[in-house]
Chains A and B, each alone.
Chain A
Amino acid sequence: MQVRSPEVVRLPSQLTVDYTKCTGCRICELACSAKHEGRFQPSLARLKIIRYDDLGIDIPNVCGPCEEAPCVEVCPVYAMRRDPISKMVFLDHDKCILCKSCVGACVNGVILLDTTEMRIIKCDHCGGDPECVKVCPTGAIQYGPISSATTFERHGKVASYLREIEHSAETQQSDGAS
């Protein structure tokens, strides 16, 4: 039996994130839900801002950039596919059997199951004209071609920042500070 090897593709345009610029304002979540749901409902936004109020950092989680897309790999019925031209991952709602595998597989945790309407919700990059990028006041989310290096760098930065904070938290504790 042949094992399907993960499809690695070159990505023309992707959402990219610079968490150091993000203020955690969640305007992007609002605008995303406004555009796709016709109402203001961040819980159904196709991206998610994780706010760490104790550390003072805010990290946008968006769809991609995934050169190997686990949601595509995991989908048993090929409902989650790549657009052959834009390479963007999209969801074919008619095929979806709501198995929820992609929800768990998404590395960024931005595929949602809307339990009210029983449907999978996923970023469609606004068809190449991302609303979240336009409304973001700080440039923390951008859209364009990227090299994979940026992605790794982003995660590296978060890790080193967290280390510094952890260190300072320890110092604080050993000081017995309030």
Chain B
Amino acid sequence: MAAGGYTGRILRVQLGEGNFKVDKLPLEWIRDYIGGDGFAAKLLYEEVPAGCDPLGSHNKLIMSTGPITGTLWPMSGRTVFVSKAAQTGIWGESHVGGFIGPELKYAGYDMLVIEGQSDKPVYVLIEDSNLQILDAGKFWGMKTHEVTAAIKKEHTDPDIQIAAVGPAGERKVRFSSLIINNARAAGRTGMGAVLGAKNVKAIAIRGHGAVEVSDHEAFTTLAKAAHMRVRTNPQAQEMGKWGTWILTAVKQEIGELPTYNHRTGVFSGWEKLSGDYIRPRYTISDRACFGCSLGCKKMNYVREGPFAGTLGEGPEYEGLMAFGSGLGIADYPTTLKANQICNRYGMDTISAGATIGFAFEAFENGLITTKDTGGLQLEWGDSQAVIKLLEMIGKREGFGDILAEGSRAAAERLGRGTEQYAIHVKGLEVSGQDGRTHRSIALGHATGARGADHLRSLVVVDQLGYEKVAADRWGADKLPEIIDPYTEKYKATAVVESENAYCIRDTLIVCWYSVSWPPIFWMNDFADMLPLATGEKSFGDVKNLTRIAERQVTLKRLFNAREGITRADDNLPRRFTHDPMPEGPGKGQTVDLEPMLDDYYRLRGWDLETGLPTEKKIRSLSLEWTKKYAPSH
């Protein structure tokens, strides 16, 4: 064992050779990167060359866990997939809950790296030390739930955890996802296409081993107390009851519920997309990811109407937004059905919904017609058109083949000024927030390493009236501006500090809902826990954790810089900077991005003009090693 919590081993699957290789986890990685996202960033930077094709054999798919993955710490069942992104060609990462991360640890590995390319369809079986690359010819073409059931049956083990590529990933739909055991999605940036391009249909993992922390008694006591904090937190209890659907009403109230492809922030049909409406009518059971005492997952069943018989988990708030308000649809069953199609084909709900929204708006404005769509009328609120388009995208049929490229590339292909309706940053479609009525997320969307990201730096404390938390974290002197959603002032401070804490969250790896909303755990809690888990004393210092977080953010930035990203790419769709919010509480608001960017770069120690990390910063974060891997031009 390397240090407490880790297995100390990296498993490599070399598809070209048909081999497996087990490497030792370098000890210095632990000290400098902790785990999870951090390990993956280090490995990706070193091993995936600049400029390579994300769908080529040089790209790698990394699955990474952290020191507490598989332990009793609340909500620590999450894992991350990292790759050069199929959708954007830059840094790609996608986190997922469920049980597959712990299973990898129990099998004896901290990380899994899939390298090279297979010349025929295969799936990878990892069962402790039984490692096999198996023929997947008979599984090719299957939807994710079908291949998941088939593999479990083949190995007569219902507890195998499976990350599956669906038909969308096989066809390299740019926003295709990996689906874990039917309904957990590593959704964003196109991980399905990366694996599909490698001819891998699924990764099947089963482990029987243990995770051992450094100080078992003290860690377990702290973890149990931490669970009690989750169980007794009133907002966590609400989240457990309503899931992320609780956000619909909140977002509507503050005028930040993206509607009609982000044109506006209020939706007249919001009530039918709210937890209050959905739960009593459709929810049949509450479920949770590994080690989670909150349990935000809901199993739902539609009893009547056009989608009667649909049984499935989800969608999350983001899916309600993407297929509901975003497309003008005030109907929960449509969103459940759309979500299920996305899960079965293996597609990201946010990007799928936004790309369809792009098409709807371009159609509405006459920039595309039925000639482009193959006769399909595209109209806001038309459920059947959405369902039809999703299947066409998943199969890359007709117009679906163009939309399968994502909104940015689709707009490039279609031309005619359609790009004004492609609501993305760096090629990744904007998630369910709006910077006009929540200024800090504008900065987050613009600077996120993977594009318009709502999970790496989204501040919620500034928006939902957590005045005291804000004062504690950022200083009372910055109130009230720092919690005023309509001003740019101090927003970089809130974004940087939150991004740092989330970085540590993503190295552990714990769920967003244990740190953010409600804000239960923060840096100091991780500093209390990590030394007990790992035995690494330096993790007990918040300042050191902050430095590790800064290192991680800067390393991802350097990865993107190597692919040509600069300040000019840290932008927003014109919609947010030029079109005032048309209605609702934030009527008239627009985003003034540049001053926030200046503040952000200053705080990060990046150059104001280029937006790239300065020499001084690179040195102070001990990232000089990155130079060795710079492109040779």
Contacts and interface: CB of A to CB of B under 8 A. Distances in A.
A43 B206 CA distance: 10
A51 B158 CA distance: 8
B106 A43 contact: yes
Interface string A36-75: 0111111110000011011111100000000000000000
A23 B288 contact: yes
B309 A175 contact: yes
A33 interface: yes
B609 to A, nearest CB: 49
Interface in A128-178: 135, 137-138, 165, 168-169, 171-172, 175, 177-178
A86 interface: no
Nearest to B303: A168
A31 B341 CA distance: 36
B30 interface: no
Categorize the interface residue count of chain B. 35 or more
Interface string B284-301: 111111111111010101
Interface stretch (B20-28, B87-95, B210-218, B454-462): B210-218
B211 A40 contact: yes
B351 interface: no
A151 B70 CA distance: 32
A31 B192 CA distance: 34
B172 interface: no
A25 B295 contact: yes
Contacts of B309: 168, 171-172, 175, 177
- Centre residue among A26, A42, A58 by max chain B CB count within 10 A: A42
Given A38-B216, A54-B145, A27 B72 contact: yes
Contacts of B106: 41-43
Nearest to A24: B287
Categorize the interface residue count of chain A. 35 or more
A76 to B, nearest CB: 28
B311 A168 contact: yes
Contact of B287 (A23, A41, A42): A23
A40 B71 contact: yes
B216 A53 contact: no
A24 B181 CA distance: 13
A60 to B, nearest CB: 13
Contacts of A44: 210
A113 interface: no
B391 A34 contact: no
Contacts of A169: 311
Contacts of B293: 25, 27, 137
Given A25-B289, A137-B295, A178 B210 contact: no
Contacts of B295: 23, 25, 137-138
B291 A27 contact: yes
A58 B310 contact: no
B212 A40 contact: yes
Contacts of A165: 311
Given A25-B288, A25-B295, A40 B208 contact: no
17 contacts: A20-B285, A23-B297, A25-B288, A25-B289, A31-B72, A33-B210, A41-B211, A44-B210, A53-B181, A53-B182, A55-B299, A57-B285, A58-B287, A137-B295, A138-B286, A168-B309, A178-B341
Given A42-B102, A54-B149, 16 more contacts: A20-B285, A23-B288, A24-B287, A25-B295, A26-B290, A30-B72, A37-B210, A40-B70, A41-B208, A51-B158, A57-B285, A137-B293, A137-B294, A171-B308, A171-B309, A178-B391
Nearest 10 Cβ contacts at the A-B interface? A56-B299, A41-B210, A137-B293, A23-B288, A25-B288, A23-B295, A172-B309, A171-B309, A43-B208, A39-B210
